[in-house]
Structure formats: structure tokens, C-alpha cells
Amino acid sequence: MSYVDGFVMPVPEARLGDYKKMARVGAKVWMDHGALAYTECVADDVKPGKVTSFPQAVKLKPGEVVVFSWIVYKNRRERDRIMNKVMEDPRLAKYMDAKNMPFDGKRMFWGGFKPIVEA
């Protein structure tokens, strides 16, 4: 069964173009190193909840939008191998510096997931 990394982050609407450029590079890097799929989505129908929600989870500020991303791998072992290569890839080096990130990395959250149903 596959393995999935998921990411959620707030992106300033004014920097969404910069984020898309970074995401295109990221997609190329992850796929070049063996990821099976790479997807980036911008919130379209995401409202604050009464207890929790995507906007609340990232402490969304005015002028920001939520981005939800996921990457699919063959399995956890492949994910670990690919992630090591991605973190060393020079094509992403400039985005590893917080000053160059087109989003607030402190309010980003992520995790690895084992699918329980796949179709």
C-alpha cells in the first residue's frame, strides 16, 4: 500500500504566484526522485469552524489563503529515501531559508499517513 505526506499552510494572497513557482519546482524535484504523485491545492470552499477548521489550524490572517498539498509514494521506505534526496536537492535550496519561503513556515503543519482505503 502507498504512503502519503500531507501539508497545510497559510499563503499570503499577494505571494500566491511565488508559491506556485516554488510548487512547480517542488513537483519536479519530488517526481524526479521517485514520488508517484504531487498535488498542490488552494482553498476554495473552506470556512472557519466552531471548534476547528483549516483556517483555524493555520491561524489564517486577512489576505491569506490556505494551501493543502500531498505527495504519494510507493511506501514509507520509499518516502524516507525520497525525502532525504529532496532535502539535499540544490533546486530547492533557496526555499529552505525562511526568508525566501512564500509562506509562514511556522504556521505550516504536515505529517505522514498510511492509507487505509485506496481506490
Q: Using an 8 Å Cβ cutoff, are 70 and 5 in contact?
A: yes
Domain boundaries, the chain: 3-103
By three-state DSSP, how is residue 98 classified?
helix
pLDDT tens digit sequence for 65-88: 999 999 999 999 999 999 999 999
Which CATH number among 3.40.50.1100, 3.30.70.100, 3.40.50.300, 3.30.2310.20 corresponds to the domain 3-103?
3.30.70.100
Please give the C-alpha separations between residue 67 and each of 46, 53, 72, 94, 103, in angstroms, as whole numbers.
Answer: 10, 13, 17, 20, 10
> How big is the chain by its Cα radius of gyration, in Å?
15
Region at 34 (left for phi over 0; alpha for psi -120 to 50; beta for the rest): left
pLDDT tens digit sequence for 90-112: 999 998 888 889 999 999 999 99
**Predicted TM-score (pTM) of this structure:** 0.93
pLDDT tens digit sequence for 7-53: 999 999 999 999 999 999 999 999 999 999 999 999 999 999 999 99
Q: Give the pLDDT score at 1.
A: 86
